[in-house]
Amino acid sequence: MKMIKAVIRPEKEFDVVGGLEKEGFNSLTKLDVLGRGRQKGVRVGGAVYDELAKLLIYIVVEDKDASRVVETIKKHAHTGNFGDGKIFISDVREAYTIRTGKNRL
Amino acid sequence: MAVVRPGKARETMEALARMGCPASTSFRVFGRGRQKGLRYASAEIGAQEITVRYLPKKMILCVVPDRHWRATVQTIIRVNQSGQFGDGKVFVSDIRETCRIRTGETQDAALR
């Protein structure tokens, strides 16, 4: 299994979640975060914003679905400007559903 | 890494501490599972269906030595299992390195 962590623009949440829903991925966990990238925040005139509001999304899927989820997020979170965010993928060894205690997604 | 009901987080962390894993990090998150949130009909406002897109949950991160992971998962499941949808998930993944910042200890020594 793979865990996909995506840092996206908060205003793109509906697009991304809607897109994932259409592909059949309903489950996710989300979290408001602050962050910055290689541009070290933004500078607007004299004002410097060190950290920008982002939305962090966690999704865990089977290995074979990982690339489809990443493509969907990429398509819907993309604006072409700095600050579109990043997607990180890591391995998950096991997943348990607490309700049933079973070892599956 | 576990996503559990917010009201169960304290109990979970106490149970983890009792089994010898006192260190954990937790934070509030919002999430939904295969049921896409919550959908129910309320008698008070007629037959109209109410949809809750995301439910508040608590995420608990807990790093344990390899030999303890099964017991940790069992503890989390035991404390949080109510049999209803929304009990949450437990994910297990490998941590490549650990370092205690205060002393610079690494790997299992950093977890002790």
Residue A63 resides in a domain: yes
Nearest beta carbon to residue A98 from set B32, B59, B89? B89
CB B80 within 8 A of CB B8: yes
For residue A35, give the CATH number of its domain: 3.30.70.120
Could you tell me the sign of the dihedral formed by the alpha carbons of B40, A55, A65, B63, in that order?
negative
What is the per-residue pLDDT for A81? Answer: 92
Q: What is the pTM of this model?
A: 0.85
Residue A72 resides in a domain: yes
Dist. CA B50–CA A34, nearest whole Å? 31
CB A79 within 8 A of CB A34: no
Dist. CA A76–CA A74, nearest whole Å? 6
Residue A104 resides in a domain: no
Dist. CA A6–CA A14, nearest whole Å? 14
Residues with Cβ within 8 Å of residue A94, at least 6 apart in sequence: A1, A103, B73, B90, B91, B92
Residue A105 DSSP code: -
What integer is the mean pLDDT of A80-95? 94
What is the per-residue pLDDT for A31? Answer: 94
Asked if the C-beta of A30 comes within 8 angstroms of chain B's C-beta atoms, the answer is yes
For residue B34, give the CATH number of its domain: 3.30.70.120
Domain of A46, in residue numbers = 2-91
Considering only CB atoms, which chain A residues are within 8 Å of B63? none
What is the per-residue pLDDT for B37? Answer: 81
What is the per-residue pLDDT for B44? Answer: 66
Report the residue of B77, B79, B84 to disrupt the A interface, i.e. the one with the largest count of A CBs within 10 Å. B77
What integer is the mean pLDDT of A24-51? 91
Considering its fold, how many domains does chain B have in total? 1
Report the residue of B85, B89, B96 to disrupt the A interface, i.e. the one with the largest count of A CBs within 10 Å. B89
Residue A98 resides in a domain: no
Considering only CB atoms, which chain A residues are within 8 Å of B77? 96, 98, 101
Q: Which of residues 44-103 of A touch B (CB under 8 A)?
A: 58, 60, 90-99, 101
What is the per-residue pLDDT for B81? Answer: 92
ipTM over 0.85: no
Query: For B60-112, how does the pLDDT look when each residue is reduced to its tens digit (9 = 90+)?
Result: 999 999 999 999 999 999 999 998 899 999 999 999 999 999 998 988 888 87
**B2: distance to nearest CA of chain A, Å?**
9
Nearest residue in B to A96, CA atom: B90
CB A74 within 8 A of CB A23: no
Q: How many CB pairs under 8 A join A and B?
A: 78
Considering only CB atoms, which chain A residues are within 8 Å of B2? 98
Domain of B31, in residue numbers = 2-110
Residue A100 resides in a domain: no
What integer is the mean pLDDT of A41-65? 92
Q: A58 pairs with which residues across the strands?
A: A5, A29
Percentage of the residues of chain B whose pLDDT score is greater than 70 = 93
SS3 letters for B5-67? CHHHHHHHHHHHHHCCCCCCEEEEEEEECCCCCEEEECCCCCCCEEEECCEEEEEEECCCCHH
What is the per-residue pLDDT for B47? Answer: 62
Q: What is the DSSP string of A35-94?
A: E--TT-SEEETTEEESSEEEEEEEEEE-GGGHHHHHHHHHHHH--SSTT-EEEEEEE-SE
Tell whether the model's pLDDT for residue A12 goes beyond 90.
yes
Name the pLDDT band for A69 (thresholds 50, 70, 90): very high
- Between the CA atoms of B1, B6, B7 and B8, what dihedral angle is there, to the nearest 10 degrees? -10
Mean model confidence pLDDT for chain B? 88
Considering its fold, how many domains does chain A have in total? 1
Dist. CA B68–CA B72, nearest whole Å? 6
What is the per-residue pLDDT for B43? Answer: 65
Asked if the C-beta of B61 comes within 8 angstroms of chain A's C-beta atoms, the answer is no
Average the pLDDT over each of A72-81, B38-47, B51-60, B79-88 and give the range with the smallest value: B38-47
**B94: distance to nearest CA of chain A, Å?**
7
Tell whether the model's pLDDT for residue B42 goes beyond 70.
no
Asked if the C-beta of B7 comes within 8 angstroms of chain A's C-beta atoms, the answer is no
Tell whether the model's pLDDT for residue B38 goes beyond 80.
yes
Higher pLDDT, B52 or B74: B74
What integer is the mean pLDDT of A23-35? 94
End-to-end CA distance of chain B: give it in Å, rounded. Answer: 19
